[in-house]
Chain A
Amino acid sequence: MESNKLIELLEKMLRIRHFEEKVGNLAARRMILGSVHLYIGEEAVAAGVCANLRQNDFITSTHRGHGHCIAKGGEFRFMMAELFGKSTGYCQGKGGSQHIANFDLGILGANGIVGGGMPIASGAGLSIKMRNTDQVAVCFFGDGCCNNGVFHESLNLAAVWNLPVVYVCENNQYAVSVSVKQASLIHDYYLRKDAYGIKGCQVDGNDVIAVYEASKEAVERARKGEGPSLIECKTYRWRGHYEGEFDRHYTYRTKKEIEEWIDKCPIAQFKAYLIENNIITAEKIDQLEEEIKRELLEAVAFAEDSPAPKPEDALVGLFENE
């Protein structure tokens, strides 16, 4: 891979990490309201996959969607304004953390309903095929989604219709408190590819290059009209299921387990790799992070200074005018 492509991957991951840390901080101070589900620890998945996408490709996202949005080109300030419930946010304050979309960037929406995005991404794939373009639709979803009916309906029909969809399972091993081991006898969800007759693989979801390579293949296949794929990325969420879960996550997992995964930090690993291979210096990385932090401060200021929607704005936007 070219150096600048590698540095781009790092930058994307850092953008996600710093954004999420800031959001966690603001949520703790009650400056961001509602449920907030952070993506910290899983950055390599969104960054690695989206590095293969063009602006006019589509993604669907989940309740844990900030990372997908950033990786697909979402801007800090409009995201932050949405989290603050301001009229300058991506959804004018109607959506909030779990419902960010930007159709110009191909972000077809984060989702409060587990599995909600699966058929939607598949339908975008159908549209691509019917409109005869070379776009691709990527569906991000968690391990928890794999045992919901929509998983089966979506993969099966996308396979039968040979749609350009890449299904990216973020297997962070828990759906709230329910572990993959409790939820299924098959713990490697990529194996289900065979049930649908499609291509698929499992990758270390904390290895951004592995994610990038696997999704590159799948995206290229989709662009060439060779059908859907299922990629399972094994990863881990560091934080509680949502900000506000606090220590309750110790009811279902141990501190030791969390620490083991923190040791496998996708960003620390990748930084070490890049430095070792003389692709970037530690100083340059620090500089990059400082810039990101500065941009974040500006985004927070933008959100704070933005006007709140008027209460009556609630009544606007249900239907397109006809």
Chain B
Amino acid sequence: MREISYADAVVEAIEEEMDKHEEVFVLGEDIGRYGGAYFANPKLWKKFGDERVRDTPISESAIVGFALGAAITGMRPVAEIMFSDIMTVAMDQIVNQVAKMRYMFGGNVKVPLVIRTPIGGFHNSAAQHSQSLESWFAHVPGLKVAMPSSPYAAKGLLKTAIQSNNPVIFFEHIQLYRLKGPVPEEEYYIPFGEANILREGTDLTVVASAVMVHRVMNVANKLEEQGIQIEVIDPQTLCPFDKETILSSIKKTGRLFVVHQACKTCGFGAEIAAIVAEEGFDYLIDPIQRLAAYDIPVPFASNMEDFAIPNEQRILSAITEFLGK
């Protein structure tokens, strides 16, 4: 199968949906001739022009609010917020307007709206460009939340998001944009609410998203050499959340370890731990463990940054300790 980058997979998903539906359009900062802050790929603008690929001023509330207004009146916008830390600038529109629109108005309107935004940081991006705020959005009823970890998932999930008649917050990880992976030429969609089992194992279930999937997979491969079999699960979407796959994995392994890049307190790992404690307690041999970033803003200097967010070494030693090996 051909291999393309995560960034190209995103562009391809949008392009295909724009080809199919003339209501699909994109808006955001520097997405036109510049080709996106991180992508440097003006393909969409070259193909569809200013009308359907709209550069905006630095007006995040307007980006989201205009997209919402357009979505409920016949369009199918894909809005881009340049990085997820500045989703905060558009929070009223996202939380009070986008998320509430359908339910509050009696279910009488469709909201086919996608907000794409990069998460992550690393490489000295510092406190205001490194946050992983996905659990904020998963906490708000009325928003679907996707978080792909591979080019294949990015394309398939984004196409589903654009087709959806519900609002989707689509988190792309900056550090994955250049990652290449197999993506079929043929069209495909990945349904929301289906976790992906990346590797099967019997000793421990590890749940991770986005970049952490890759770190965990490296650790799992290392531990395999010591005869430890780790099952790695990527939920792919936090809302809807596929708890069945995780519960049935724990039934097999008896142990749950959650890793995320976001801070620990009220991170999505807390939700996963709670679900398993409520519904899978009897399967558990050991207490649930979480490994997350420390509860601090992400610091600038390399060694502090590396310390703040779980790296492979920390994941490895935490899992080894957890398994008592």
Q: Chain A: residues with CB nearer than 8 A to chain B?
A: 33-35, 82, 85-86, 91, 93-96, 98-99, 111-116, 144-145, 147-149, 175-178, 182-184, 248, 251-252, 308-315, 318
Contacts and interface: CB of A to CB of B under 8 A. Distances in A.
Interface string B1-43: 0000000000000000000000000000110111101001010
B128 A112 contact: yes
Contacts of A145: 58
B303 A114 contact: no
Contacts, number: 129
Given A33-B123, A113-B89, A251-B42, A93 B300 contact: yes
Given A85-B302, A98-B128, A149-B61, A318 B296 contact: yes
Nearest to A149: B61
B86 to A, nearest CB: 6
A85 B302 CA distance: 7
Contacts of B302: 33, 85, 308
Contacts of B60: 148
Interface in B279-315: 294-297, 299-308
A311 B42 contact: no
Given A99-B128, A113-B128, A315-B294, A94 B37 contact: no
B300 A147 contact: no
Nearest to B59: A147
Among B35, B58, B129, B305, residue most surrounded by chain A Cβ atoms (within 10 Å) = B58
A314 B296 contact: yes
Contact of B86 (A113, A251, A318): A113
Nearest to B90: A149
B304 A248 contact: no
B29 A176 contact: yes
A297 B198 CA distance: 51
Contacts of B29: 175-176, 178
Nearest to B305: A314
Nearest to B82: A176
Given A85-B300, A248-B40, A309-B303, A178 B126 contact: no
Interface in B109-151: 123-129
30 contacts: A33-B124, A33-B302, A82-B300, A85-B124, A85-B303, A85-B304, A86-B301, A93-B299, A94-B127, A94-B304, A95-B300, A112-B127, A112-B129, A113-B128, A115-B89, A144-B57, A148-B59, A149-B89, A176-B29, A176-B37, A183-B57, A251-B33, A308-B303, A309-B299, A310-B303, A311-B304, A311-B306, A314-B294, A314-B299, A318-B296
B32 A144 contact: no
Given A99-B300, A309-B301, A314-B299, A177 B30 contact: yes
